[in-house]
Amino acid sequence: MKIVSYNVNGIRAALKKGFLEWLQSVNPDVICLQEIKANEDQLDLSLFEAAGYSHNYWYSAQKKGYSGVAILSKTKPDHIEFGTGIDYMDFEGRNLRADFGDISIMSMYLPSGSNMDRLEFKLTYMADFQKYANEFCKTRPNLIVLGDYNICHEPIDIHNPVGLKNVSGFLPVEREWIGDFMKSGFIDSFRHFNKEPDNYTWWSYRANSRNNNKGWRLDYAMVSEPLRDRLKRSVILSEAKHSDHCPILVEIDT
């Protein structure tokens, strides 16, 4: 199973930049989207169906043009779960899960901590999501949580770790949480295969950051420990340029 995750920073904008043609060339079995910034009724779903993704599920924020996640699949999932049942998360359309056989795939858009109020919101979300994942894995242990975590884990994951140490996305408390999340039973699939520096998934639109590769690795495919031996590949698809993020890809033996 080939799974892609992509923060598209607005699906309608990405469509105008050739997203569907790119999707067909990469040809994943499942793609998880974040920050779709659209409601389902604002999209022509026949475009996705024509591209081979006849099963597409959209979970938008209540606030128009904000946040939201989606899952597009070639085959019909056994089950779709909209949200986590935690109301403040679900108001913002941040979690969508599809179950395929014994594997559960979640598209997650973790909040950014752009100011103190949002940082507190983010920290609460992280703590509550950890509890959710712990409980969920008791009954379905094969969970893959893909998406924009809005956190760089280690200095290797950010272009200027010293200068950005006090910026949300690389704060000690955020880095500690993502480390603890992995210790609770999840594998950072990209680092499972690749220990090299200068691999990023987000670049600011300012100061020619992408061309200079001054980026952050904010997007992860976190794979639960029982799937370790079924991991085949995990890469960053940095050539895709429909967003300020780029997609990531993970392959799992089914």
What is the C-alpha separation between 234 and 252, in angstroms, rounded?
9
Q: Where are the domains of the chain?
A: 2-252
Tens digits of residue pLDDT in 182-210: 999 999 999 999 999 999 999 999 999 99
- Quickly name the fold that domain 2-252 has: Deoxyribonuclease I; Chain A (3.60.10)
Please count the other Cβ atoms lying within 10 Å of the Cβ belonging to residue 8.
26
* Predicted local distance difference test score (pLDDT) of residue 148: 98
Tens digits of residue pLDDT in 122-178: 999 999 999 999 999 999 999 999 999 999 999 999 999 999 999 999 999 999 999
* Predicted local distance difference test score (pLDDT) of residue 36: 98
Q: Give me the mean pLDDT over the 201-230 stretch.
A: 97
Tens digits of residue pLDDT in 87-133: 999 999 999 999 999 999 999 999 999 888 999 999 999 999 999 99
Residues noted as catalytic? 148
Label residue 146 exposed, middle or buried (CB < 10 Å: 0-12, 13-18, 19+): buried
Given a contact cutoff of 8 angstroms between Cβ atoms, the answer to whether 249 and 234 are in contact is yes
What is the C-alpha separation between 22 and 76, in angstroms, rounded?
22
* Predicted local distance difference test score (pLDDT) of residue 212: 97
| In the chain, % of residues over pLDDT 90 | 98
Complete DSSP assignment for 163-210: TTTTSTTS-HHHHHHHHHHHHTTEEEHHHHH---SS--SEE-SSTTTT
* Predicted local distance difference test score (pLDDT) of residue 94: 98
Rounded to a whole number of angstroms, the distance between the first and last alpha carbons of the chain is 6
* Predicted local distance difference test score (pLDDT) of residue 15: 98
* Predicted local distance difference test score (pLDDT) of residue 114: 87
**Residues 6 or more apart in contact with residue 8 via CB below 8 angstroms:** 14, 19, 33, 34, 35, 36, 242, 243, 245
Q: Is the pLDDT of residue 71 over 90?
A: yes
Q: Give me the mean pLDDT over the 64-92 stretch.
A: 97
* Predicted local distance difference test score (pLDDT) of residue 76: 98
Q: What is the mean pLDDT of the chain?
A: 97
Backbone angles phi, psi at 167, to 5 degrees: -105, 140
